[in-house]
Structure 1
């Protein structure tokens, strides 16, 4: 099969190669991949011990080709979206992927295509987990740092659905986009006075902040009120101050039911799924480079022939 693989420990040593289709165990599904969600971590979110060449990628959609004897929840021919990561048999940037039955796997609604399905789970899972750490009420305020990408696109919509007042940062070209998703206030992250703008808008500070982009956690502390909360999605380590709770995304939070609802709500039009561009599979490295600039609007997806 064709697959994008990491050929060595060198950071950018990734190429399209022919590799063997993985053989599944009794606890795995073999999935014919139809579309792949592109993420910032795809090229380096890897197990500690791997054999090269190693197929990269963690998110995709496709059709169940085979099932192991202990797989009971899914059947051959079923359309699924899934997250498969840290697996020794490789990831999702391939024509076929071995997926453990305990991975995050959801059936795709009939009125959703593979390209859409491949764009939902990583961003949706991340945001829904982050929101479990924000104990806000309707009318409370939240600032989203880096709000125009795939995670921010969902974060704005989910926050508004909960009745929260939302501010977001991004480059000026994305301000109208954020407002179309429901943002009440937008600021330019490159403007040295952006924090003052937020403070003028919410003089006592916002109730909480979600820091998506690296380096935004500490900056976000400055516009959060005393006793508020900052959640860092990027993993920034920040020093708490003024009684503010600084936390990472609670990765053990189980939001599988919420994700099932989300994929159904996207299919019905309740939430907007934004895919900036769909790339042919052989142009995957171009899509990865675009994602790594952190300037993509919404999600980038690879589509198989």
Structure 2
């Protein structure tokens, strides 16, 4: 099969590699679309941050999968050949999603909503699971909560804002001014242009902040937006968590999360999509053999939403 392989110098190229075979409890997916995420280009540029890739195998990046089940392993009861599925297998272990065929655990993927194209489904998994696990499982956002989402126009941010809104929250978002109208259309209540405004002077007394930007200085500024008892989640990395003394003085808590495969959350997301309360924005697509271009676009800021490689 064709796959995109990462080389030692950080470059990407399309190569022929062996097609995988599903084992017990696994399915083989004919991949139609693979979303591109910041973790992909960070590992491409800097190497295996998680230490989970096998140096003896070609390094194939990618975790977003959307396509059709073409083979099922022993013990699989959730799917049959021909089912459309989407998911984020194995993260942070290699899923090798930049390829024509992908093996996934049957409980790492969910049925693709009929309302979604393969490209839209391929845009969702890692970003929407990050959003769900931050907003629902970690921040426990509910009716009347005031939430500030940083990078609200990004792949995770535009989904997190909608999930919070659907749960009854009042949502603030930071984004460049060019994306404000689109975010209002997705339901964001208050928008802050991070290029010209200090968010901590506008979004105050927040119940929660979801920081998708990262960096210690940005997280420390986010503490100033929180009320006493507020919660901060930083996604890009635990090294950005503000000092304990600052958190104690402000009376707030902070943590970071690393997204995990979770079919139940994907099914909850699918229900939202079918109900019309969640939309995914696809910013750009390129065929698999031009996937390196999507990395370049993402690294330079890119358009609102997600970047997706089409396959086949």
TM-score in terms of structure 1 length? 0.88
Aligned mates of 2:92, 2:233 — CA distance in 1: 28
CA distance in structure 1 between the partners assigned to 2:105 and 2:81 by the alignment: 15
- Taking the TM superposition and a 5 Å limit, the aligned residue runs for 1:181-192 are 181-191=186-196
Cα RMSD, aligned residues only = 2.3
Is this contact kept in 1: 2:175–2:192, CA < 8 A?
yes
Q: Alpha-carbon deviations, 1:55-93, whole Å to 9, x = none?
A: 211111111122222323222222111212358775110
> Which of 68, 72, 87 matches 1:82?
87
Q: Mind listing any 5+ residue stretches in structure 1 that lack a counterpart?
A: none
SS at match of 1:300: strand
When residues 85 and 21 of structure 1 are mapped into structure 2, their CA distance, relative to the original with a 3 A threshold, is same
Partner of 2:229: 227
Q: Of 143, 152, 163, which residue of structure 2 is paired with 1:147?
A: 152
Find 1:284's aligned residue among 288, 291, 301: 291
TM-score (norm 2): 0.86
Alpha-carbon shift at residue 281 of structure 1 (Å): 1.7
Shift of residue 144 of structure 1?
A: 0.8
Distance in 2, Cα, partners of 1:194 & 1:89: 37
Cα 1:289–1:257, aligned 2, differ >3 Å: closer, same or farther? same
The one of the two structures with greater contact order (alpha-carbon pairs below 8 A, sep at least 6) is: 2
- Once the 2 structures are TM-superposed, how far is the Cα of residue 268 of structure 1 from its aligned partner? 4.3
Which has more helix, going by share of residues? 2
Q: Which segments of 5 or more consecutive residues in structure 2 lack a partner in the other structure?
A: none
Q: Is the 8 A contact 1:133 1:250 kept in 2?
A: no
Q: 1:113 to 1:136 in 2, by over 3 A?
A: closer
Aligned length: 296
Displacement of 1:183 after TM fit? Answer: 1.8
Deviating more after overlay: 280-289 vs 243-252: 243-252
CA contact (8 A) 1:57 1:85 kept: no
What is the Cα deviation at residue 126 of structure 1?
Answer: 0.8
